[in-house]
């Protein structure tokens, strides 16, 4: 059976909508209308066997469902207000625990869980729709706003989540060499409990010009999406990348650079700033490269450069894929 990538399906959806005069799928959320009553709306899913393993506690995947949606809102620079849950429950699922976790995680970001639907199913999962308003004095962040000469930034470390995915089993940490267990626990926490960068996104939304996307499917693949929407290329500096520790990656049989570039599920913001801007609006982000006038994606290591393939984590084929 031919594997289909999420990007190919999104292209399909986009073509379907384009034939109807709708072209809103370039960003992390759809923007409903301009002006003071403008809303951004985003939908995400967490499905057992796809986004989390069968033994994952309901609270963990329920919170993750909220976090990945809010990360989309962060990439739009919005202020999330309302959430709507479509829950799929097996007969043994602790539905109350899921609802509490979703409502808790929403409340942490001042979001109201305002409605939902429940259905029995053969596996657990949920989809969440989140509505957001523009932040006061800001505009919606778009993927299409990058220009040659802009600097390229990452809101936080990448690659840890990929390592944490390997450590989701209960005894996985104990199987690590003792010296790697502390980092292992950190990686698992980062994978399980992504923190949407809402404050950073809102600060960026007040900037004069800024392109942004959240790194959900891997730095390289999401950078390729941002560059495609902006019609630009990018150079990523290998030395500037906030990679996970080499020893932990090696203990898990993985390459730390590969995890950082293609691992996915990092849920940090990847954004650009205009050439004159020297620093990020908040502490934490690191500058990792420069936007170029075409030429695709390039990885620069010292004096050498190589093409950076737009490969990342694909939820549809449950593995890595070309974008």
Interface residue list for its own copies (CB under 8 A): 1-4, 6, 9-10, 12-13, 16-17, 20, 22, 24-25, 29-30, 32, 37, 41-45, 47, 49-51, 81-82, 84-86, 88-89, 91-92, 95-96, 99-100, 103, 107, 112-123, 125, 127, 129, 131, 315-318
- Among residues 280, 239, 243, 278, the alpha carbon closest in space to that of 262 is found at 243
C-beta of residue 202 within 8 angstroms of C-beta of residue 141: no
Which of 72, 166 has the CB closer to its own copies? 72
Which of 32, 286 has the CB closer to its own copies? 32
Query: Minimal distance in Å, beta carbon 170 to its own copies?
Result: 24
Query: Minimal distance in Å, beta carbon 60 to its own copies?
Result: 18
Which of 26, 295 has the CB closer to its own copies? 26
CA distances from 68 to 162, 174, 214, 250 (A): 15, 28, 9, 28
Tokens 């001042």 label which residue? 110
Which of 165, 315 has the CB closer to its own copies? 315
- Among residues 85, 114, 106, 82, the alpha carbon closest in space to that of 196 is found at 106
Which of 107, 307 has the CB closer to its own copies? 107
Query: Minimal distance in Å, beta carbon 90 to its own copies?
Result: 10
Angle between helices 58-76 and 198-205 (to 10 degrees): 10
Query: Minimal distance in Å, beta carbon 43 to its own copies?
Result: 5
Query: Minimal distance in Å, beta carbon 317 to its own copies?
Result: 7
C-beta of residue 52 within 8 angstroms of C-beta of residue 64: yes
Query: Minimal distance in Å, beta carbon 95 to its own copies?
Result: 6
Would you state the structure tokens that stand for residue 9, as one six-digit string?
A: 């399906």
- Among residues 222, 239, 151, 199, the alpha carbon closest in space to that of 6 is found at 222
Which of 215, 249 has the CB closer to its own copies? 215
Helix (H, G, I), strand (E, B) or coil at 2: coil
């Amino acid at each position: 059976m031919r594997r289909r990538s999420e990007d190919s399906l999104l292209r399909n959806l986009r073509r379907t909508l384009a034939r109807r005069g709708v072209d809103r799928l370039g960003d992390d959320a759809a923007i409903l209308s301009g002006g003071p009553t403008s809303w951004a709306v985003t939908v995400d899913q967490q499905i057992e066997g796809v986004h989390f393993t069968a033994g994952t506690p309901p609270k963990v995947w329920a919170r993750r469902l909220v976090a990945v949606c809010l990360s989309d809102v962060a990439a739009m620079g919005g202020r999330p207000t309302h959430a709507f849950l479509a829950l799929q429950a097996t007969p043994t699922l602790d539905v109350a625990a899921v609802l509490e976790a979703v409502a808790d995680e929403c409340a942490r970001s001042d979001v109201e869980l305002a409605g939902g639907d429940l259905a029995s199913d053969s596996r657990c999962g949920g989809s969440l729709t989140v509505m957001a308003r523009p932040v006061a004095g800001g505009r919606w962040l778009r993927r299409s706003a990058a220009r040659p000469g802009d600097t390229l930034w990452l809101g936080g470390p990448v690659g840890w989540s990929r390592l944490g995915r390997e450590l989701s089993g209960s005894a996985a940490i104990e199987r690590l060499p003792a010296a790697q267990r502390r980092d292992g626990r950190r990686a698992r926490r980062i994978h399980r409990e992504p923190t949407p960068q809402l404050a950073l996104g809102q600060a960026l939304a007040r900037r004069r010009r800024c392109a942004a996307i959240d790194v959900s499917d891997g730095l390289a693949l999401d950078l390729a999406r941002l560059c495609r929407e902006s019609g630009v290329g990018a150079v990523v500096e290998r030395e500037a990348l906030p990679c996970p520790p080499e020893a932990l990656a090696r203990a898990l049989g993985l390459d730390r650079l590969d995890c950082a570039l293609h691992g996915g599920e990092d849920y940090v913001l990847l954004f650009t700033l205009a050439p004159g801007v020297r620093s990020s609006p908040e502490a934490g982000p690191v500058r990792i490269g420069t936007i170029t006038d075409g030429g695709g994606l390039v990885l620069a290591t010292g004096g050498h450069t190589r093409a950076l393939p737009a490969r990342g984590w694909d939820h549809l084929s449950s593995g890595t894929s070309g974008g």
